[in-house]
Amino acid sequence: MTATETVSSYPNVAAPMMIGSVELKNRIVRTSHGSGMVVGGRITDELIAYHAERAKGGVALTILEAAGVHPSWVGEINAGTDEIIADFQQLVAATSPHGMKVFQQLWLGPGPNGIWYNGAPAPLSASAVPVPISGYMPQPVSVDQLDEMVQAMADAARRCRDGGLDGVEIHSGHGYLLGSFLSPITNRRDDDYGGSPTNRSRFLRRIVDAVRAEVGDDFPVGVRVSADEGVAGGLVAADVAELVRDLHNNCTIDFVDISNGTQFKIDQIFGSAIAPHMYEMPSSAVVASATDLPSIVTGRFLTLDEAEQVIAAGEADLVSMVRALIADPHLVSKTLAGNDKQVRPCIGCNQGCLGGVRGPMRHLYCAVNPGAGREADTGDAHLAPAPSPRRVAVVGGGPAGLEAARVAAEIGHSVTLFEKSAHLGGQLRYTRFSPRRSDTAAVLGFWEAELERLGVDVRLETTVDPGGISAEGFDDLIVAVGSEPRRDGMQLWRPSEPVEGWGSLPTASSWDILGGEPRAGRSVVLYDDGGRYEAIDVAGKLVHDGATVYFVTPFFTFGTRVEATEKGWEDRIRPHYRHLSTNESFQLHPNSQLSRIDASGVAIVSLDGGQPVHLESDELVMVTANIPAIGPDAPSSGVRRFVVGDGAGVRTLEAAVLEAHQCARNL
């Protein structure tokens, strides 16, 4: 298929479109998202490189991460000072040659979602109504403060225009400060800004009017809204559709960016692998159809096929693909050129993106794309032909081995990959059998296709003697054999106390469950020592297959170590727990350890002491820390030898892929 034929397969995605006076070259957008690459409110070279790479990849429009405009909340980018103008100019200089337009999201802060910290004022909101994220009682915004904020928004928009940006978006969704005025739940005011829908939207209308007066008619201005608050008594799609119609009729806005969720339904803002593709469309389509304004929709769009489907149906005009373009910045150009098999897919794990930005690292990365967040010096854009091609043996066909083999072959080495099993994929292969997270294995298809394209010699069901590698004439050996479940019954929190009766009951690992026969009708004790997705996948499959599951963990709740973010358990784990806890075949036993095992089941005991509780069961499943399948001190084969991935220390998918990429690149 030629590039022209491929473009014709996506006539709506490839079609240009006007937003106000600005022409977009196609219909693919990246809506605002945090990066961790803003320092002191200033745009860094690192952030410019991040956005420039997506511009090179064919994206039509990027909306920069939230910019603070008022001293009450500086935000990520600080658009409350003229210093930011030069930053905008540098970013535009790097992106505009590739035809990507850049808008800036303007933000009045998290509002009632704000986390109070030492020395900071109380969170602001329309009214003194606490919300689940913080639990703090917010302070109602005074009318004088409203006046200041309106002017601050207008001034910030002027700076965006003077910095060469192409437009601005006013964030009034997700339950943040502006959104708190729109919602009848958080707006209990009795002045001109509360009560009726018209009064509740007065603050937003004043901002839109002030911004328009400042930037003129030829500079696009739009709003971001949440189509459904996700809580009884809150705004629903019909309410938000009426709001958008009112803004269009009474203000001058050029587009609407439709998202979903608020502090009451956080998982709707950041859908993980358990969310269906295009999961926001049922509510977003209602809002988009209420106006003839250009509309942007989002919500786990992973391919241009999905975007084409929605646009062709008239359900939206533009589609946002944020995480898909983190995983592969060239998704658009590759697909339109007919190279869709070379697109590295987003797997919805949220490990490096959301978990990176809002976890301890405070920086955006990607579990499957080592170059994401490191565009200045890492990733496929920096792969250069090897000055002296070598023969490279990669032992192990899991994620680390696959990435190492791909990169080594891409830069010109002759690569042979050895895998002892009949399948590639390593541990990641088992997630294919997860009833709710099978998308996390999607990247395996990319690696397999790439190895075929690059001519890698893949030898399955082949065990390698490291000492024999040199005999075959290899120059380098990359050991990527990963890790495997430990089967000795050790418990992380009680390593010196072996479980009494170990071996008295049939015992399995997560691999045995996910890759094995269904346990329908059986009672299973699942001991989770890790607090991560692995045990959640196992529990989900057991319940799905008809087993009764007693979920035992030393933690105080479920999934506590899943890439913790500042919003914690609720936004990452609650959807999984809600799904399981509503099933009568699932029981959670927190703060507990295994005490004794016999042929009839397992006795558990609280970590705080007390009498054991006996759980009658047919099988015990242990989900504990894996152990490396081969240590870094294994015998040398006489060639240069490198150990990557879990073989060098059991960590995360993100760590394994990054380590393998860097190792192969530097051969």
Q: Domain check: are 194 and 88 in the same one?
A: yes
Confidence (pTM) = 0.93
The mean pLDDT of 161-170, rounded to a whole number, is 98
Is 403 strand, coil or helix? helix
- Position 571 scores a pLDDT of 57
Q: Domain check: are 515 and 436 in the same one?
A: no
DSSP code of 500? Answer: B
Q: Domain check: are 477 and 346 in the same one?
A: no
Q: Domain check: are 287 and 329 in the same one?
A: yes
Q: Domain check: are 538 and 649 in the same one?
A: no
Mean pLDDT of the chain: 91
Does 499 reside within a domain? no
Does 209 reside within a domain? yes
* 371/328 Cα distance (integer angstroms): 9
Residue 261 has pLDDT above 90, yes or no: no
- Position 566 scores a pLDDT of 41
Q: What is the CATH number of the domain that holds 399?
A: 3.40.50.720
Does 177 reside within a domain? yes
Does 366 reside within a domain? no
Chosen domain end from 316, 342, 358: 358
Q: Domain check: are 447 and 526 in the same one?
A: no
- Position 267 scores a pLDDT of 73
Q: Domain check: are 455 and 400 in the same one?
A: yes
Q: What percent of the chain has pLDDT over 90?
A: 73
Does 235 reside within a domain? yes
Is 262 strand, coil or helix? coil
Chosen domain end from 358, 393, 421: 358
Judge contact between 14 and 336, C-beta under 8 A.
yes
Q: What is the CATH number of the domain that holds 241?
A: 3.20.20.70
Q: Domain check: are 191 and 152 in the same one?
A: yes
Q: Could you tell me the pLDDT band of residue 282, with boundaries at 50, 70 and 90?
A: very high
Q: Domain check: are 468 and 332 in the same one?
A: no
pLDDT in tens, 113-165: 887 665 667 889 999 998 887 778 999 999 999 999 999 999 999 999 999 99
- Position 567 scores a pLDDT of 45
* 65/358 Cα distance (integer angstroms): 14
Judge contact between 332 and 58, C-beta under 8 A.
yes
pLDDT in tens, 197-240: 999 999 999 999 999 999 999 999 999 999 999 888 999 999 99
pLDDT in tens, 174-204: 999 999 999 999 999 999 999 999 999 999 9
Q: Domain check: are 478 and 520 in the same one?
A: no
Does 137 reside within a domain? yes
Does 373 reside within a domain? no
Q: Write a three-state SS string for 355-406.
A: HHHHCCCCCCCCCCCCCCCCCCCCCHHHCCCCCCCCEEEEECCCHHHHHHHH
Q: Domain check: are 316 and 429 in the same one?
A: no
pLDDT in tens, 287-298: 999 999 999 999
Does 371 reside within a domain? no
Other CB atoms within a 10 A radius of the CB of residue 276 amount to 11
HSE-up (13 A, CA, CB side) for residue 663: 28
Q: Domain check: are 390 and 511 in the same one?
A: no
Judge contact between 371 and 378, C-beta under 8 A.
yes
pLDDT in tens, 92-121: 999 999 999 999 999 999 888 887 665 667
Q: What is the CATH number of the domain that holds 513?
A: 3.50.50.60
Q: How many domains is the chain partitioned into structurally? A: 3
Print the domain residue range for 261: 3-358
pLDDT in tens, 527-542: 999 888 899 999 999 9
Strand intervals (E) in 26-91: 28-30, 38-39, 42-43, 61-70, 73-75, 77-78
Residue 109 host element (H or E): none
